[in-house]
Amino acid sequence: GAGVSQSPRYKVTKRGQDVALRCDPISGHVSLYWYRQALGQGPEFLTYFNYEAQQDKSGLPNDRFSAERPEGSISTLTIQRTEQRDSAMYRCASSREGNTEAFFGQGTRLTVV
Amino acid sequence: DQQVKQNSPSLSVQEGRISILNCDYTNSMFDYFLWYKKYPAEGPTFLISISSIKDKNEDGRFTVFLNKSAKHLSLHIVPSQPGDSAVYFCAAILGEGSNSGYALNFGKGTSLLVTP
């Protein structure tokens, strides 16, 4: 596609439920990043993929968070047993190999009630 | 701990004047710096960047200055236009060898309002 596409745009879920957030990067972009942005803050790094390999997951807050990118394209960020503190904007970004300029999607606004 | 700091949450400037947005960082291992611009309901978009080996990079109305000794960078917009009103994020990237690729370390952002 023309840009990074994230779905859903908005997700409201009950505490304790699992959610899956999807990111479809720009075609040909081998690097994919997930960030989380709280209100009034800048995006914070969660995890990074190079092709299908998850190179760094040091930013994932705890083991309820996981991500995958099985075919080196679409990525899914999964949050299990959601808690209210998980409420935030989740942003995905992609970039060409070796390129510092990352392109962001519109984000998924997650609200845990 | 916030390694990239934008201490001004907001800035208001008259159209035609210069806008100066400031950013400080604490990690001397940062190798590359970027500014992103964000409009409401959109993702951040890349604006301009600078490598740590340079002290200035200019692109049209936008210039970024880097003072490595002070761990400070700034974005100048001249002349400012109402369409420049947005949130501006300063971001930094660690150098080669980082496991996180070119993961961005963001500041909290500065909301710029350019008034006619």
Q: Per-residue pLDDT tens for A39-72? A: 999 999 999 999 999 999 999 999 999 999 999 9
Tell me the sheet residues that pair with B22.
B74
CB contact (8 A) between residue B106 and residue A99: no
Per DSSP, which regions of chain B are E strands? 4-5, 10-14, 19-25, 30-38, 45-51, 56-59, 62-67, 72-77, 86-94, 105-106, 110-115
Instruction: Give chain B's mean pLDDT.
Output: 95
Where residue A2 falls among pLDDT bands split at 50, 70, 90? confident
Tell me, what's the pLDDT at B1? 77
pLDDT higher than 80, residue B79:
yes
Inspect the interface and report whether the beta carbons of B108 and A95 lie closer than 8 Å.
no
The more confidently predicted of residues B24 and B96 is B24
pLDDT at position B96 is 67
Cβ distance of A55 and B100 shorter than 8 Å? yes
The verdict on a CB contact (< 8 Å) between B99 and A56 is yes
Q: Testing the interface with B: which of A26, A104, A108, A109 to mutate, by most B Cβ within 10 A?
A: A104
**A68 vs B: CB within 8 A:** no
For residue A10, give the chain B residue with the closest CA: B41
- Are B116 and B82 within 8 A, CB to CB? yes
| Nearest residue, CB atoms, A104 vs list B44, B107, B108 | B44
Residue B116 has pLDDT above 60, yes or no: yes
**Do residue A42 and residue B106 have CB atoms under 8 angstroms apart?**
yes
Q: How confident is the model at residue B107 (pLDDT cuts 50, 70, 90)?
A: very high
**Which residue carries 């978009």 as its tokens?**
B45
Residue among A71, A4, A8, A62 nearest A33 (CA): A4
Shortest distance, CA B29 to any CA of chain A (angstroms): 16
What average pLDDT does range A1-24 have in this prediction? Answer: 95
Q: What is the pLDDT of residue A98?
A: 81
pLDDT at A44: 97
Listed by number, the residues of chain B in 50-79 with a beta carbon closer than 8 Å to a beta carbon of chain A are none
Kindly state whether A105 is in contact with chain B, defined as any CB-CB distance less than 8 angstroms: yes
Two tokens at B63?
């210039």
Contacts made by residues A60-67, CB under 8 angstroms, sequence distance 24+: A67/A34
Calculate mean pLDDT across residues B72-95: 96
Q: Quick check: bond before B79 cis, omega within 30?
A: yes
Whether residue A10 lies within 8 A of chain B, CB to CB, comes out as no
- With a CB cutoff of 8 Å and minimum separation 6, the contacts of A100 are B32, B34, B49, B93, B102
How far is Cα B102 from Cα B33, in angstroms, rounded to an integer?
11
Cβ separation of A100 and B109 shorter than 8 Å? Answer: no
| Predicted confidence (pLDDT) at residue A1 exceeds the cutoff of 60 | no
The minimum CA-CA distance between A43 and chain B, rounded to whole Å, is 6
